[in-house]
Amino acid sequence: MMRFILLLSAASVALAFKNPHYASGRTTMVHLFEWKWDDIAAECERWLGPRGFGGVQVSPPNENLVIWERNRPWWERYQPMSYRLVTRSGNEAQFANMVRRCNNVGVRIYVDAIINHMTGTWRENVGTGGSTANFGQWSYPGVPYGRNDFNWPQCVIQPSDYRNNPTRVRNCELSGLKDLNQASEYVRQMIVNYMNRLIDMGVAGFRIDAAKHMWPRDLRVIYDRLRNLNTGHGFPSGARPYIFQEVIDLGGEAISRDEYTPLAAVTEFRFGMELSRAFTGGNQLRWLVNWGPQWGLLASADALTFIDNHDNQRGHGAGGNILSYKRAKQYKGAIAFMLAHPYGKPQLMSSFDFHDTEAGPPMDRSGNIISPSINSDNSCGNGWICEHRWRQIASMVVFRNHAANAAVSNWWDNGSNQIAFCRGNRGFVAFNNNNWDLNQTLQTCLPAGSYCDIISGEKSGNRCTGKTVTVGGDGRAHISIGANEFDMILAIHTGAASRL
Ligand code: LAG
Ligand code: CA
């Protein structure tokens, strides 16, 4: 009996940090990379809430080193100076206001937590909140941290360490960033205080930056000390934060993602790598028939899934050839597959346009971030891409919410790159990644009726601005996706947004 209870409680601990606590009926989060808090609050109210998005991953909210020497690159935010909530995205009051306003419209906030390290060594030493540091003394009075709070002896991770030296990967510096010692009681306390402050403000969870570079046993202590989510923000009582740990595991390294799944969820980097490969012709779509763990992916409940993230869309981090907004047709195909298929917990990337992989977000001469403007066709301006506003992508978020727990059924393929499947009797989707047309009568599994394809257009009143699909009494319908069409996808569902 005792053993059974222990087993049971071990299982519930593992599940505890794997629930995003989305508002009911929501399934998908978006990373609003480098957005300002006031703009995110507005976006929750005018777009994300009404369109059924579940949450937003925000850029690190804690004070970072200002690096004019490199013209304020995006990556300065991965160099913490303190846990004060002051950055180019806004101050503490603005952060709190954003969390409140987003929760009010059913959109959760997830914080990118940089707890592995502090800054590198630079000539400049002032943070976004005015804190200073003495790099040579490992001194960060804004926390405060000093020499005793870091790993010694100082060392820098070498490429070969990833293959054969897990201790160095955990205890040496990641690209010269001063490496905190999470085994220290004091360091743990500072980190826990920071994260608990955010939980009290109403955030729903965290991305754990560089989790591979910290010991799972130390992370466990930190997670266990986190408070429950704030019931004053609509979370159920006893709810644990959602934690997705950034572990890049493409195989062949000494440290594996499996060391982290007993603790909480993990970012599944193989997901975007495989789908990018398939949607650029490096693999046939027909093989996606057994998409999931059979492909070597994590168990679905453990996986935070995405095509690109802020690192691999610009060749930072590990793994190359990831699709992004820059190859829009293929990218939308991969994203639509991610959202149509029940595997994993999807995260969308929302980018600013870049040519220089180091360049920071759109900013003025003083380094202030310039807000995205919103055009009449719902797209963004001022240098912001806003993939989450692309009709095809936003419509597929609605599709996923509507498909809910329905399983994949009635898989069809043409033996190469044309595929189609149903989600129970709620949704149907088809893809054409061949260079010839798809023209087929297929089993849609949907009730007879007239549907508006949510990819080529949308329902507006009782009209459809895209393809209309007529499903017969036998559930069959004629499906056509031309090889040269703007998109390679067709999707219909029984929700209000598609049914005519
Ligand atoms: C991450 N995950 O584990 C982030 O997703 C990733 O964006 C971060 O790297 C990294 N870990 C540390 O949090 C980014 C850039 C790096 C950048 C680093 C710190 O990809 O290029 O390093 O943030 O700002 C930069 C320079 C390095 C330099 C270092 C230290 O590029 O040349 O050695 O700063 O000063
Ligand atoms: Ca470390």
Model confidence pLDDT, tens digit, residues 47-71: 999 999 999 999 999 999 999 999 9
Q: What is the dihedral of CA 267, 271, 273, 276, to 10 degrees?
A: -130
Nearest CA, atom 7, ligand 1: 311
Is 174 close to ligand 1, i.e. is its CB under 6 Å away? yes
| Catalytic hit among 209, 218, 311, 387 | 209
pLDDT above 80: residue 142: yes
Rounded average pLDDT over 333-359: 98
Is 173 a catalytic site residue?
no
Is 246 close to ligand 1, i.e. is its CB under 6 Å away? yes
Contact call for residues 111 and 85 (beta carbons, < 8 A):
no
Rounded average pLDDT over 173-200: 98
Distance 404 CA to ligand 2 centre (A): 38
Report residue 475 as tokens.
């559930």
- Residue 1 pLDDT grade (very low, low, confident, very high; cuts 50, 70, 90): very low
Nearest CA, atom 23, ligand 1: 75
Domain residues of the chain, as ranges?
A: 11-403, 408-499
pLDDT above 80: residue 11: no
Q: Which ligand 1 atom is nearest residue 248's CA?
A: 3
Is 180 close to ligand 1, i.e. is its CB under 6 Å away? no
pLDDT above 60: residue 77: yes
Rounded average pLDDT over 439-463: 97
In this structure, what DSSP letter does residue 322 have? -
Taking the model in full, what pTM does it have?
Answer: 0.97
Rounded average pLDDT over 203-209: 99
Distance 343 CA to ligand 2 centre (A): 31
Is 95 close to ligand 1, i.e. is its CB under 6 Å away? no
What proportion of the chain, given as a percentage, has pLDDT over 90? 96
Residue with the two structure tokens 């209870």: 5
Q: Is the peptide bond before 153 cis (omega within 30 degrees of 0)?
A: yes
Chosen CATH of 408-499 out of 3.40.640.10, 2.70.70.10, 2.60.40.1180, 3.90.1660.10: 2.60.40.1180
Nearest CA, atom 13, ligand 1: 78
Report residue 117 as tokens.
């390290």
Q: Which stretch of DSSP H or E encloses residue 273?
A: helix 269-279
pLDDT (0 to 100) of residue 259: 98
Domain covering 11-403 in this structure, CATH number: 3.20.20.80
Is 209 a catalytic site residue?
yes
Task: Give the burial class of 302: count Cβ atoms within 10 A of its Cβ; 0-12 exposed, 13-18 middle, 19 or more buried.
Answer: buried
pLDDT (0 to 100) of residue 3: 53
